[in-house]
């Protein structure tokens, strides 16, 4: 099943730079403002490689964000800004954080290692989201230019007893490196190089199936790149199942962070939908149309906290629609919804977001799959209060507040080989990029 490997990671040299100045959020979570801030923190901030500013390059001289990224990566290694581990290892990786919107403090524990790439058809790695061609093309260009992976794919495995965490964390001393990120999350890592511990870890992971939590585009990019570089192997050849020293060829694996999906430290936040720039939207007509599929109940006030609390108390599929004339609690009429969505598998038909996308966005508002995919009239927000305020400021026609997808729902859909609507999950916190780098050369 899941095959992991230790590796000789490239890491930032603490005698040359401060880790706080050079690590970043994942590339797809970096806003333009964050990109500028990262540039100003350090000339060696990883943003210059994973999300360079196009206006800084001379296209007429054949320069691009990708060629500059490759040049910087080479230069930083030559200068000693980055240094390589002397022996193959994995890294215990813990994140301590306050759950957004609460005062609850949790710690999510995992480990960074190389993971073997598998086609989805092999049923070792499972996805839960569709991917788009544009992000994959961008990441492929960066991978081809740099021949390196700078961030980790976020992978989930099941270990109800927590045995794997015991291998990694029992007896750990102070962290070797720690950094607090833009959201107040404390990230800590420890190097694990003991061959006996790595053998135990690899053996414990050997029967696991994996679900991609974050990083679908980068995973599929790495998989396609591996297929392009796969050497011809004699028929019947197999990998050794002894001490996991290295993959069959460098491109056959990608850097991953593995987290136990049964852990209390795993948090999934909701992602709210904001619809804007519709040619015509009438709140009264919308409520009347929605009544065919949902019970529609007006809500008092405009406090997003109260709306979210109301949603959390619902025992069936529901969401809140915030319109310019007031908020509505929409609770699905199960029989009507089932009849309308007969072509969708039952496990997906039970999801709030399936009802929202298939009935509200598509049928009632005319936002078909292509418009949703291209985000023509749609924005995704983690912050419910900002979603409500965009409607009140006249920047949006309607906002839909949702409950988070549960781990049980995600597991059921993914292991069945299905996918959820776009932006269904928001795992918090994100994995930092720059804690370790996997260079193929």
What would the pLDDT profile of 115-137 be if each residue is shown by its tens digit?
999 999 999 999 998 887 778 89
C-alpha torsion 348→353→357→361, nearest 10: 160
The Cβ of residue 245 has, within 10 Å, a number of other Cβ atoms equal to 12
Residue range 346-393, pLDDT digits in tens = 888 889 999 999 999 999 999 988 888 888 899 999 999 999 999 999
Domain 271-403, CATH class in plain words:
alpha beta
Instruction: Give CA–CA dist 69/64, Å, rounded.
Output: 8
Q: Are strands 125-126 and 210-214 parallel, antiparallel or unpaired?
A: parallel
Question: How many Cβ atoms sit within 10 Å of the Cβ of residue 295?
Answer: 14
Confidence of residue 243 (pLDDT cuts 50, 70, 90): low
Mean pLDDT of 13-34: 96
Segment 264-285 mean pLDDT: 95
**Alpha helix (H) residue ranges in 206-351:** 216-229, 283-290, 304-312, 334-340, 346-349
What are 386-403's pLDDT values in tens digits? 999 999 999 999 999 999
In this predicted structure, the answer to whether residue 241 has a pLDDT above a threshold of 90 is no
Q: 62-108: per-residue pLDDT in tens? A: 789 999 999 999 999 999 999 999 999 999 999 999 999 899 999 99
What is the model's pLDDT at position 235?
Answer: 43
List C-alpha distances in Å: 68 to 23, 93, 142, 295.
18, 30, 10, 56
Contact 372, 378 (CB under 8 A): yes
pTM of the model: 0.93
User: Does the structure show a pLDDT above 90 at 61?
Assistant: no
Q: Domain coordinates of the chain in residue numbers?
A: 4-267+428-439, 271-403
Note the residue count of the chain: 441
């Amino acid at each position: 099943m899941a095959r992991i490997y230790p590796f000789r990671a490239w890491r930032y040299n603490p005698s040359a730079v401060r880790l706080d100045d050079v690590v970043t959020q994942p590339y797809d979570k970096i806003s333009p403002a964050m990109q500028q801030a990262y540039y100003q923190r350090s000339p060696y901030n990883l943003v210059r490689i994973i999300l360079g500013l196009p206006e800084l390059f001379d296209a007429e001289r054949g320069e691009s964000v990708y060629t500059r990224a490759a040049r910087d990566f080479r230069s930083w290694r030559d200068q000693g800004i980055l240094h390589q581990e002397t022996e193959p290892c994995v890294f215990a990786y813990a994140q301590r954080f306050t759950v957004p919107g609460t005062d609850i403090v949790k710690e999510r524990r995992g480990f960074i290692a190389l993971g073997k790439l598998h086609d989805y058809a092999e049923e070792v790695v499972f996805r839960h989201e569709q991917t788009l061609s544009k992000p994959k093309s961008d990441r492929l260009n960066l991978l081809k230019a740099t021949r390196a992976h700078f961030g980790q794919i976020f992978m989930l495995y099941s270990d109800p007893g927590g045995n794997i965490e015991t291998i990694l964390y029992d007896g750990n001393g102070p962290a070797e490196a720690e950094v607090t990120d833009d959201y107040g999350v404390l990230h800590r890592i420890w190097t694990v190089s003991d061959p006996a511990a790595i053998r135990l870890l690899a053996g414990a992971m050997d029967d696991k199936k994996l679900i991609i939590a974050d990083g679908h585009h980068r995973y599929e990019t790495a998989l396609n790149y591996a297929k392009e570089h796969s050497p011809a192997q004699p028929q019947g050849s197999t990998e050794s199942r002894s001490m996991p020293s290295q993959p069959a060829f460098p491109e056959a694996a990608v850097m991953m962070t593995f987290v136990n999906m049964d852990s209390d430290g795993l948090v999934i936040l909701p992602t709210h939908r904001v619809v804007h720039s519709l040619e015509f939207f009438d709140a009264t007509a919308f409520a009347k149309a929605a009544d065919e599929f949902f019970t529609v109940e007006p809500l008092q006030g405009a406090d997003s906290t109260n709306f979210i609390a109301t949603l959390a108390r619902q025992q069936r599929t529901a969401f809140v629609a915030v319109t310019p004339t007031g908020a509505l609690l929409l609770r699905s009429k199960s029989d009507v919804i089932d009849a309308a969505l007969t072509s969708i598998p039952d496990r997906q038909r039970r999801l709030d977001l399936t009802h929202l996308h298939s009935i509200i966005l598509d049928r009632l508002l005319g936002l078909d799959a292509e418009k949703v995919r291209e985000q023509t009239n749609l924005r995704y927000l983690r912050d419910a209060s900002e979603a409500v305020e965009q409607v009140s400021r006249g920047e949006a026609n309607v906002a839909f507040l949702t409950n988070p997808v549960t781990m049980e729902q995600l597991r059921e859909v993914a292991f069945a080989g299905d996918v959820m609507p776009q932006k269904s999950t928001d795992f918090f916190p994100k994995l930092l990029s720059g804690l370790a780098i996997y260079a193929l050369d």
